[in-house]
């Protein structure tokens, strides 16, 4: 995969406000924060999408993500937040290296704006679809 700006940040070739690093994971402040404390958590493994991530990298992120959320909340005083993870340009992914956003949500409205166009799940279609997904695992 071609280098993205995030690989350069991991290697220290581009500066960032780092908040955490271990053998598999790097976390730093987003340069265009939606709110104070907006933090990006990325694997050191350079793949574009979550479904491409190795089990080892995924486990390493899963292990530290809640701790990073707690740290962002403690540092900012926020009590509400979103964790966002975009895959593909249609899904608003701009940087093609897996990343999780931790985005505090404040009373002043700063944070992630969400358009949630909920539909209605048809029971029969839902049964078929759930079976298809389960058998694809
Ligand atoms: P995406 O839309 O791909 O999920 O989000 C990419 C995020 O990366 C954006 O929130 C953007 O502000 C952030 N970003 C892009 N380039 C840089 C950079 O050079 N440094 C930092 N710290 N964040 C960046």
* Helices assigned H by DSSP within 35-103: 55-76
Q: Whose CA is nearest to atom 20 of ligand 1?
A: 31
- At 98 the pLDDT is 98
Pocket lining: 32 vs ligand 1, CB cutoff 6 Å: yes
Q: Are 16 and 28 in contact (CB under 8 A)?
A: yes
- At 3 the pLDDT is 87
Is residue 38 among the annotated active site residues? Answer: no
Interatomic CA distance for residues 119 and 129, integer angstroms: 15
Pocket lining: 129 vs ligand 1, CB cutoff 6 Å: no
State the burial class of residue 28 (Cβ atoms within 10 Å of its Cβ: 0-12, 13-18, 19+): buried
Q: Whose CA is nearest to atom 21 of ligand 1?
A: 31
Pocket lining: 28 vs ligand 1, CB cutoff 6 Å: yes
Residues of the chain where predicted confidence (pLDDT) is lower than 50? none
Ligand 1 atom closest to the CA of 38, numbered from 1: 10
Q: Tell me the sheet residues that pair with 20.
A: 27
What's the token pair of residue 13?
């070739």
Q: What is the pLDDT of residues 94-127, one digit of tens each?
A: 999 999 999 999 999 999 999 999 999 999 999 9
- At 64 the pLDDT is 98
- At 6 the pLDDT is 98
State the CATH architecture for 5-136.
2-Layer Sandwich (3.30)
- At 1 the pLDDT is 66
Q: Whose CA is nearest to atom 4 of ligand 1?
A: 93
Ligand 1 atom closest to the CA of 96, numbered from 1: 3
């Amino acid at each position: 995969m071609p280098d993205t700006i995030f690989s350069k940040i991991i290697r220290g070739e581009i500066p960032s406000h780092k908040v955490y690093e271990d053998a598999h994971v790097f976390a730093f402040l987003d340069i265009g924060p939606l709110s104070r404390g907006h933090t990006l958590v990325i694997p050191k493994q350079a793949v574009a999408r979550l479904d491409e991530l190795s089990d080892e990298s995924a486990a390493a992120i899963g292990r530290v993500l809640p701790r990073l959320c707690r740290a962002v909340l403690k540092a900012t005083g926020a009590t509400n937040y979103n964790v966002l993870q975009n895959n593909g340009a249609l899904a608003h992914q701009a940087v093609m290296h897996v990343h999780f956003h931790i985005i505090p949500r404040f009373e002043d409205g700063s944070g992630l704006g969400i358009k949630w166009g909920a539909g209605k799940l048809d029971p029969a279609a839902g049964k078929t679809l759930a079976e298809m997904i389960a058998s694809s695992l």
